[in-house]
């Protein structure tokens, strides 16, 4: 793998992954609302129309059910579509195509089909777009066997994981983070830079406590971890990156090492994926290494409010993360 | 032809001016970071939205859209509460929790703006079902755009409403673009009204920039619907002057096209109509315009002096 | 199938037992032979081991509850296994009414313990794992986490033998906020027991449950189980047996000499210090062999005399809050060294409440010594069903005429209380005479 890196935004890393894969494989194409000339609602695909033309960068009508359904249909017949749903909230409209069709075809058909599609959708709050444009619904998809679910938290991960998702023969829900789109990071420019799905990463090594987080909360957690390091508390930050399949081994080993686990995400707590991670820990041998109850820091169980103060109060804050660390350390 | 009263036409003129002033103010605030989130302006579509609402009875219902400021102002709304909501204040229609895309006044028959394209279709059908079952004599007007007519919910709703003969007016404000995608790339027909044929209901095309036409035609259609003849699809041809949202660079359309539509300004057209038909005077109309602007300034003052929602309200109203 | 855990009948006349503490929680796995709970019979605390391996599915009777022997108190079995319905004992309607009354009574009674003792230990999984690996009893580890939760670091820092303390004492110390370092343990090997802690906070046990009357000067304190048993037994003995006491003075010169002579050797052999009491016990055992009536008991119906061809000698051991009479079996067959070891052993275990219930039963004769408190004479009450008891008093230097001259001699009074239904004055007197002779020529007891 080349050592060459380039600073770029998360958004550009997503684009780079799509562009590289579309150059390599003519079966890969992008479709979605306003992905063409407009370049996507968040500008992720700006410029792609110029390179690949309307044939492979396809604007669709506002028809999410048809977009997801068409992706599944194209995928099962030999294409590798990337479907963009403008906001993760609108995947609700695409649910049948995704959940009842794409996810289950292979199994229902006795292994005689594959559905290599990627459904990209930006999730998360923090933009003031209120209740119908701000949700983090990743747990829903994790609950559907047959779907893989990826939530990159850095630019490099966005690139490596999206390339893996495009090359994967299964439907992959690729959850992008609206508020991370403009965050820059160092990204390998190697066009074979792939991060296998199901491989988490220790973003920061530590000894005292493991914080498992992904997506928008990851940079927040890392910031707190760095601050605590200066105060003599050694925090390990683990990003599973892929929720399904989950890198259980990495999680278990880290928790065995530190004996303490704090789980942080933006999605609502009730029924959320943190509960799944907590259960994985409890059911594993890591349980016997736990020296404090596992803490979940998640979004409040409310729709995302419009008012900015309320909106920011819904999701875990730096202070809450700090407090949780002190709590598990009995300080 | 329905005879439009002077009072109604001046009220319509007032509300269209309020809508314009309101949105210009929002645009101003947005540019200064005073409006959180995103906002979708309907400048250029005032006749289409206000005219349709004015044609309804006061107790009729509407479902609104993400581009709904003119619609709800047309229905008659407390501008103070609306501006407060835009600024996320506790005194707003939704206590600061909804924002621009979710202005609602359920008691007054505004079942809410909607952040999801096509989200209102089903709601309108259900609301009309209530009116039918309770024999209230009210009709429901469902606002949506050209883009939403490509959602499955549009087709399912029209079909259901037609077989049940529900009192609902499906009111499509065709502003020619679904965000950046022009109509001809999103559907293979010129007139969305043609889609009514599939469901065996009437489909009408109206000039959405002509307030008087909008008013008269909608009034007529509302009467038909109220009489129990089932739903009707109206396609109101109009144009949004500004981008889809505040972040739209509008590279998908030409400046000439925008200028051409601006020359068909619905407010100017109505003003000309009033003057030509000697319904009112320039002075009176100027006064209405100025009052509209003043009302907006007052609303701004009200909103600015309003408190933010208390933090403890964050978990309120999740459940009834 | 789920196996019942019952309140064991731990002693011939044990009718009921109190659950002191479950060492396992519901859902815990328990290995056969592992300590499952601690109970208190009518006199001693004892540990109950699991009879089978499995999960403790259900605890039917909780800490503090007193239940008849063989009552099911829990179930062990496989995870998820159904627990059989608790069998109704065959009781009559009358029984049921009585039980109901009892229940009412229990309900109306105030909680006997002021301090609430939670049976469950708060410890993190990591702490539990480490304790398991290092074979550390978590009950002895002080938790530094929230609500006293034991953290891994607590187990790591725990050094065995650092501070030995009973869980109850630890809990009280925690509640009272006492540093364990400041408590001197009076239990076995210096183990801190409840009383040690209570003493320190000025809340000795007798005060724990006291109820101060309105006048502010009177307190009503419920009896402990042990106290109740003593009260019951002593009144039964006192009010059923017609007794009298015989006293005689013994010259202890030679006993003291004998002790001095053998002291070093016995200490070297057994690491135990011989006491005057040990020699008296041996002499008594020897004398009893020649006086079978004094070593006999009366049958329960009071119509037969039961003779014993052995001497199981009970010795009264005074405790802070009561009295126990552990038994030295086959004392008549013992050498002096053996009796020293046996006496020390039962005394220590009595003080630590570690006696087996059977060790408190079946004596043929009892010795009660109050000499160390300077008592010169007392009338002991017979430990039924014994027919006599020997009271041992203090040794006093006295002027005694020897060959017409006054000589200072260490003299001690022996007080023998006898049950006149079995023993007449002459029989008792002859026994005392023999015993006196043995003590004044103790070489005889060694032969």
pLDDT at C159 over 50: yes
* Chain A nearest CA to C264, separation (Å): 54
Using the Cβ of C124 and the Cβ atoms of chain A, whether some distance falls under 8 Å is answered with yes
Specify whether A156 is located in the same domain as A68: yes
More confident position, B165 or C321: B165
Residue B195's nearest CA partner among B231, B241, B248, B240 is B231
Specify whether A285 is located in the same domain as A314: yes
Specify whether A257 is located in the same domain as A176: no
In a domain, residue C144? The reply is no
In a domain, residue A27? The reply is yes
* Chain C nearest CA to A293, separation (Å): 8
Specify whether A86 is located in the same domain as A218: no
Specify whether A16 is located in the same domain as A163: yes
In a domain, residue C184? The reply is no
Q: What angle do CA C45, C51, C56 make, to 5 degrees?
A: 90
Binning pLDDT at 50, 70 and 90, where does residue C323 land?
Answer: confident
Instruction: Give the pLDDT mean for C170-193.
Output: 69
Q: Among B9-13, B31-35, B285-289, whose mean pLDDT is lowest?
A: B31-35
How do residues B38-57 score in pLDDT, each as one tens digit? 889 999 999 999 999 999 99
**What is the per-residue pLDDT for C163?**
66
Using the Cβ of A309 and the Cβ atoms of chain B, whether some distance falls under 8 Å is answered with yes
Q: Among A192-206, A252-266, B34-48, B150-164, whose mean pLDDT is lowest?
A: B34-48
Pick the last residue of a domain from A164, A188, A212. A188
Cis peptide before C40 (omega within 30 of 0): no
Specify whether A211 is located in the same domain as A239: yes
Handedness of CA C17, C21, C24, C30 (dihedral sign): negative
Angle between helix axes B282-304 and B79-86 (nearest 10 degrees) is 50
How do residues B74-94 score in pLDDT, each as one tens digit? 999 999 999 999 999 999 999
Using the Cβ of A331 and the Cβ atoms of chain C, whether some distance falls under 8 Å is answered with no
* Chain C nearest CA to A282, separation (Å): 10
Instruction: Give the pLDDT mean for B278-304.
Output: 96
Cross-chain CB nearest to A38 (options B252, B314, B318): B252
pLDDT at C12 over 70: no
**What is the per-residue pLDDT for A247?**
98
**What is the per-residue pLDDT for C8?**
79
In a domain, residue C424? The reply is yes
pLDDT at C112 over 60: no
In a domain, residue A193? The reply is no
In a domain, residue C351? The reply is yes
Specify whether A175 is located in the same domain as A212: no
Cis peptide before C261 (omega within 30 of 0): no
Q: What φ, ψ does residue C256 adopt, rounded to 5°? A: -65, -40
Specify whether A298 is located in the same domain as A152: no
In a domain, residue C131? The reply is no
Residue B139's nearest CA partner among B65, B207, B221 is B221
Do B186 and A62 count as a contact with CB atoms less than 8 A apart?
A: yes
Do B99 and A311 count as a contact with CB atoms less than 8 A apart?
A: no
Binning pLDDT at 50, 70 and 90, where does residue A197 land?
Answer: very high
Range of the domain at A207: 201-328
Angstrom distance (rounded) from CA C418 to CA C404 = 35
Specify whether A182 is located in the same domain as A270: no
More confident position, B61 or C186: B61
Chains B and C touch (3+ CB pairs under 8 A): no
Answer for the pair C368, C345: CB distance below 8 angstroms, yes or no.
Answer: no
pLDDT at C171 over 90: no
pLDDT at C89 over 60: no
Share of chain C above pLDDT 90, in %: 25
**What is the per-residue pLDDT for B166?**
97
| CATH number of C42's domain | 2.40.50.100
In a domain, residue C194? The reply is no
| CATH number of A236's domain | 3.40.50.920
Specify whether A161 is located in the same domain as A292: no
pLDDT at C90 over 60: no
Question: Which chain A residues are closer than 8 Å to B36 by Cβ?
Answer: 128, 306-308, 311
Question: Could you say which residues from 26 to 45 on chain A have a Cβ atom under 8 Å away from some Cβ of chain C?
Answer: none
Do C127 and A330 count as a contact with CB atoms less than 8 A apart?
A: no
| CATH number of C297's domain | 3.30.559.10
Pick the last residue of a domain from C40, C68, C90. C90
Quote the mean pLDDT of chain C.
81
Using the Cβ of A287 and the Cβ atoms of chain C, whether some distance falls under 8 Å is answered with yes
> In the complex, which subunits touch C with 3 or more CB pairs below 8 angstroms?
A
For C145, nearest residue in chain A (alpha carbons):
A330
Share of chain A above pLDDT 70, in %: 99
Specify whether A238 is located in the same domain as A153: no
Cross-chain CB nearest to B179 (options A33, A65, A310): A33
Using the Cβ of A138 and the Cβ atoms of chain B, whether some distance falls under 8 Å is answered with no
Answer for the pair C321, C205: CB distance below 8 angstroms, yes or no.
Answer: yes
**What is the per-residue pLDDT for A249?**
98
Pick the last residue of a domain from C59, C90, C121. C90
How do residues B100-117 score in pLDDT, each as one tens digit? 889 999 988 999 999 999
pLDDT at C419 over 90: yes
Number of domains in chain A: 2
**What is the per-residue pLDDT for C42?**
67
**What is the per-residue pLDDT for A53?**
96
How do residues A26-48 score in pLDDT, each as one tens digit? 999 999 999 999 999 999 999 99
More confident position, A289 or B250: A289
**Number of residue pairs across A and B with CB atoms under 8 Å?**
136
Residue B75's nearest CA partner among B106, B45, B110 is B110
Among A39, A61, A121, A131, the strongest candidate for a mutation testing the B interface, having the largest count of B CBs within 10 A, is: A61
**What is the per-residue pLDDT for A1?**
47
Quote the mean pLDDT of chain B.
94
Pick the last residue of a domain from A141, A166, A188. A188
Binning pLDDT at 50, 70 and 90, where does residue A133 land?
Answer: very high
Per-residue CA distances from B292 to A128, B266, B289 (Å): 28, 16, 5
Answer for the pair B115, A131: CB distance below 8 angstroms, yes or no.
Answer: yes
Instruction: Give the pLDDT mean for C96-111.
Output: 45
Residues near A98 by Cβ (< 8 Å), separated by ≥ 6? A68, A72, A91, A119, A141, A144, A147, A171, A173
Specify whether A233 is located in the same domain as A172: no
Question: Which chain B residues are closer than 8 Å to A37 by Cβ?
Answer: 180, 251-252
Cross-chain CB nearest to A259 (options C145, C146, C152): C152
pLDDT at C168 over 60: yes
Q: What angle do CA A22, A27, A32 make, to 5 degrees?
A: 70
pLDDT at C204 over 70: no
Binning pLDDT at 50, 70 and 90, where does residue A78 land?
Answer: very high
**DSSP letters along B273-285, please?**
HHHHTTSS-HHHH
Q: Structural domains in chain B?
A: 6-304 (3.40.50.970)
In a domain, residue C291? The reply is yes
Residue C397's nearest CA partner among C387, C386, C382, C411 is C411
State the catalytic residues of A: 133
| CATH number of A152's domain | 3.40.50.970
pLDDT at C443 over 60: yes
pLDDT at B202 over 90: yes
A13 sits in which H/E element: helix A10-24
**What is the per-residue pLDDT for C21?**
86
Angstrom distance (rounded) from CA A179 to CA A194 = 24
For B119, nearest residue in chain A (alpha carbons):
A93
In a domain, residue C223? The reply is no
Pick the last residue of a domain from C62, C90, C118. C90
Number of domains in chain C: 2
Cross-chain CB nearest to B318 (options A62, A89, A302): A302
For the record, the structure tokens of C124 come out as 């993190």
Do A93 and B309 count as a contact with CB atoms less than 8 A apart?
A: no
pLDDT at B292 over 50: yes
Q: Is A153 helix (H, G, I), strand (E, B) or coil?
A: coil
Place of tokens 């070593």: C295
Please give the ipTM for the structure prediction: 0.86
Question: Could you say which residues from 242 to 271 on chain A have a Cβ atom under 8 Å away from some Cβ of chain C?
Answer: 259
Residues near B38 by Cβ (< 8 Å), separated by ≥ 6? A127, A128, A129, A133, B100, B101, B245, B246, B247
Binning pLDDT at 50, 70 and 90, where does residue A241 land?
Answer: very high
Question: Could you say which residues from 279 to 308 on chain A have a Cβ atom under 8 Å away from some Cβ of chain B?
Answer: 300-303, 305-308
Answer for the pair B117, B145: CB distance below 8 angstroms, yes or no.
Answer: yes
Cross-chain CB nearest to A34 (options B99, B151, B181): B181
Range of the domain at C264: 242-446
Do A292 and C129 count as a contact with CB atoms less than 8 A apart?
A: no
> In the complex, which subunits touch B with 3 or more CB pairs below 8 angstroms?
A
Quote the mean pLDDT of chain A.
96
Residues of B with CB under 8 A from a CB of A: 36-38, 85, 88-89, 94, 96-102, 114-119, 147-148, 150-153, 178-181, 185-187, 248, 251-252, 308-309, 311, 313-315, 318
Angstrom distance (rounded) from CA C209 to CA B145 = 80
């Amino acid at each position: 793998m080349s050592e060459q890196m380039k600073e770029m935004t998360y958004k550009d890393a997503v684009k780079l992954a799509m562009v590289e894969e579309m150059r390599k494989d003519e079966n890969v194409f992008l479709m979605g609302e306003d992905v063409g000339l407009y370049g996507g609602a968040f500008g992720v695909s700006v410029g792609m129309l110029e390179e690949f033309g309307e044939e492979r960068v396809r604007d669709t009508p506002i028809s999410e059910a048809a977009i997801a359904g068409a992706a599944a249909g194209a995928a099962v017949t030999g294409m590798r579509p990337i479907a963009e749903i403008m906001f993760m909230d609108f995947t609700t409209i695409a649910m049948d195509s995704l959940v009842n069709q794409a996810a289950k075809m292979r199994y229902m058909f006795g292994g005689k089909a594959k559905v290599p599609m990627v459904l990209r959708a930006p999730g998360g709050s923090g933009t003031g777009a209120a209740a119908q444009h701000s949700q983090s619904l990743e747990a829903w998809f994790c609950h559907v066997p047959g779907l893989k679910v990826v939530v990159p938290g850095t630019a490099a991960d966005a690139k490596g994981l999206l390339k893996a998702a495009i090359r994967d023969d299964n439907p992959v829900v690729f959850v992008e983070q609206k508020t991370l789109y403009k965050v820059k990071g160092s990204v390998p420019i190697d066009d074979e830079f792939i991060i296998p799905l199901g491989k988490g990463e220790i973003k920061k090594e530590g000894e005292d406590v493991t914080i498992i987080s992904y997506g928008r909360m990851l940079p927040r957690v890392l910031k707190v971890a760095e601050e605590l390091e200066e105060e003599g508390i050694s925090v390990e930050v683990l990003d599973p990156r892929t929720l399904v399949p989950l890198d259980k081994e990495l999680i278990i080993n880290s928790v065995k090492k530190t004996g303490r686990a704090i789980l942080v995400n933006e999605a609502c707590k009730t029924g959320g994926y943190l509960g799944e991670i907590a259960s994985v820990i409890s059911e594993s041998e890591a349980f016997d290494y736990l020296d404090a109850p596992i803490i979940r820091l998640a979004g409040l169980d409310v729709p995302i409010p419009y008012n900015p103060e309320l909106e920011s109060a819904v999701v875990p804050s730096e202070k809450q993360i700090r407090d949780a660390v002190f709590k598990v350390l009995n300080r | 032809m329905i005879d439009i009263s002077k009072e109604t036409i001046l009220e319509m003129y007032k509300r269209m001016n309020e809508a314009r002033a309101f949105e210009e103010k929002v645009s101003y605030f947005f540019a200064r970071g005073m409006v959180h989130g995103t906002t979708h302006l309907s400048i250029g579509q005032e006749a289409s939205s206000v005219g349709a609402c004015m044609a309804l009875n006061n107790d009729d219902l509407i479902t609104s859209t993400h581009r709904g400021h003119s619609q709800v102002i047309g229905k008659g709304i407390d501008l103070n509460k609306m501006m407060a909501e835009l600024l996320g204040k506790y005194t707003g229609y939704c206590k600061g929790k909804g924002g621009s895309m979710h202005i609602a006044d359920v008691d007054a028959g505004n079942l809410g703006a909607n952040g999801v394209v096509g989200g209102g279709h089903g709601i309108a059908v259900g609301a009309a079902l209530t009116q039918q079952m309770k024999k209230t004599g009210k009709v429901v007007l469902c606002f949506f755009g050209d883009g939403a007519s490509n959602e499955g919910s549009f087709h399912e709703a029209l079909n259901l409403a037609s077989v049940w003969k529900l009192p609902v007016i499906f009111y499509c404000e065709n502003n020619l673009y679904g965000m950046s995608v022009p109509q001809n790339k999103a559907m293979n027909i010129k007139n969305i009204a043609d889609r009514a044929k599939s469901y065996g209901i009437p489909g009408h095309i109206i000039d959405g920039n002509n307030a008087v036409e909008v008013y008269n035609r909608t009034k007529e259609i509302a009467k038909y619907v109220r009489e129990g003849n089932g739903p009707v699809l109206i396609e109101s041809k109009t144009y949004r002057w500004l981008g889809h949202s505040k972040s739209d660079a509008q590279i998908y359309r030409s400046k000439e096209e925008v200028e051409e539509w601006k020359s068909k300004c619905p407010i100017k057209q109505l003003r000309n109509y009033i003057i030509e038909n000697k319904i009112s005077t320039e002075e009176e109309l100027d006064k209405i315009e100025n009052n509209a602007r003043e009302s907006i300034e007052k609303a701004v003052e009200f909103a600015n002096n309003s408190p933010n929602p208390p933090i403890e309200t964050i978990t309120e109203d999740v459940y009834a | 199938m789920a196996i019942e855990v019952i309140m064991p009948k731990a002693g011939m006349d044990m009718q009921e037992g109190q659950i002191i503490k479950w060492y396992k929680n519901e859902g815990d796995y328990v290995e056969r032979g592992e300590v499952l709970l601690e109970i208190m019979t009518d006199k001693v605390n004892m540990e109950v081991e699991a009879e089978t391996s499995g999960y403790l599915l259900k605890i039917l009777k909780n800490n503090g509850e007193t239940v008849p022997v063989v009552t099911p108190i829990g179930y062990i079995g496989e995870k998820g296994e159904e627990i059989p319905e608790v069998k109704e004992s065959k009781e009559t309607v009358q029984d049921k009414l009585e039980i109901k009354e009892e229940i009412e009574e229990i309900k109306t009674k105030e909680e006997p313990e002021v301090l609430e003792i939670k049976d469950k230990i708060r410890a993190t999984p990591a702490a539990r794992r480490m304790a398991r690996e290092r074979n550390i009893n978590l009950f002895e580890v002080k938790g530094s986490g929230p609500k006293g939760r034991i953290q891994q670091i607590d187990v790591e820092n725990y050094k065995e033998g650092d501070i030995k303390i009973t869980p109850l004492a630890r809990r009280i110390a925690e509640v009272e906020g006492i540093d364990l370092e400041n408590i001197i343990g009076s239990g076995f090997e210096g183990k801190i027991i409840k009383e040690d802690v209570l003493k320190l906070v000025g809340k000795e046990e007798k005060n724990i449950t006291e109820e101060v009357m309105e006048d502010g000067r009177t307190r009503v304190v419920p009896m402990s189980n042990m106290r109740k048993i003593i009260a019951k037994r002593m009144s039964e003995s006192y009010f059923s047996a017609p007794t009298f006491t015989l006293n005689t003075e013994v010259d202890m010169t030679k006993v003291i000499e004998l002790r001095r002579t053998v002291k070093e050797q016995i200490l070297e052999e057994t690491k135990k210090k011989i006491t005057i009491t040990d020699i008296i016990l041996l002499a008594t055992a020897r004398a009893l062999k020649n006086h079978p009536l004094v070593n006999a008991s009366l049958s329960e119906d009071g119509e037969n005399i039961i003779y014993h061809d052995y001497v199981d000698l009970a010795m009264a051991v005074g405790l802070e809050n009561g009295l126990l009479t552990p038994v030295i079996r086959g004392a008549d067959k013992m050498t002096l060294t053996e009796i020293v070891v046996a006496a020390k052993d039962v005394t220590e275990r009595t003080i630590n409440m570690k006696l087996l219930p059977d060790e408190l039963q079946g004596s043929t004769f009892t010795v009660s010594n109050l000499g160390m408190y300077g008592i010169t004479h007392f009338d002991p009450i017979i430990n039924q069903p014994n027919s006599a008891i020997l009271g041992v008093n203090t040794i006093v230097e006295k002027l005694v005429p020897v060959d017409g001259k006054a000589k200072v001699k260490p003299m001690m009074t022996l007080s023998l209380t006898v049950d006149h239904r079995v023993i007449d004055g002459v029989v008792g007197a002859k026994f005392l005479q023999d015993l006196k002779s043995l003590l004044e020529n103790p070489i005889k007891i060694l032969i």
